Every structure is written in structure tokens, then in C-alpha cells.
Structure 1
Amino acid sequence: MNTQAMMEGLSSLPPDAQQQVADFIEFLKTRYQKNKPEKKKVARTPLSQEAFIGMWRERQDMQDSSQWVRELRRKEWG
């Protein structure tokens, strides 16, 4: 079936059927869409190697982080 015949067939349909054809065309476009190139994966630094890991290891008040948070809340909230 050529494009002209399809257009004539489409125009002879009632509006609801024309909408169904339009919806089906959109469905087919997404189904047969060419595969998009995958994003290149960026080499990530392991979390253990990030600079911020262990940045407070020398602080004596941070040895027990739960206690530090409790104390901070007590000071701020009373």
C-alpha cells in the first residue's frame, strides 16, 4: 500500500478511528526506534578512595558518632 492510498484510507475513517491510527503510529515509532547509543560509563573512584572518607578520623569528639550527634542535639534543642 502506498502513502497516497493510506492517506485516503485514513481520511475516510471517523475521527475516533483516525485517533486510534495516530496512536498506533506513535506506538510503532517507539517500538522500531533505532537504539540510542549507550552512554559511556565513566570510571568511578571506589568510595573508600574518595578524599572525604576518614576526614575526621583525627577528631577525638567524633570517635563515637552517635554520642556526638546526641550531644549536638542536646546543646541545640535543650
Structure 2
Amino acid sequence: MSKNPVLDKFEKLPPEAKKEANDFVQFLYDRYVKSTSQKTKKPISESSFVGMWKDRSDLSDSSAWVKKQRQTQWTKR
């Protein structure tokens, strides 16, 4: 018998049960391990895409830009 009784029991399971156990372990890993590592990510304000259109003069007033787009796209032709 090995040092890990859980692995010994896992090895004795049929293939369908091994897949189910593996899926459950992946679920637990995603929930407890992966989620804690995601908390260390940078805030969205530090993302490279923030401010990528800052030099566009046509977007200086975003509300006016949206209004203009809606008028040209949504008017009946």
C-alpha cells in the first residue's frame, strides 16, 4: 500500500468513476485554488486597453458620438 490511501482507492475505481472524481477535483481546484490566484490580478484601470482611444478627437464627447451614431444608424431609409 502506498503512502496515500486516497490514491489507492482512486486506482481501484472503474473508468467512469475515475472521470467523475477527476471532474470533481478540477471543480474544487478551480473554486479554491484558481479563485485565490485571480484576486492578485491588476485592476482593470491598469489594463493596456484603457485609454487606447484617448487621442481620437471624434470621441472627446462620447455622449455626442453615441447620439450621432444612433441617428445615422437607426433612422429610416
Structure 1-normalised TM-score? 0.49
Structure 2-normalised TM-score? 0.49
Larger radius of gyration: 1
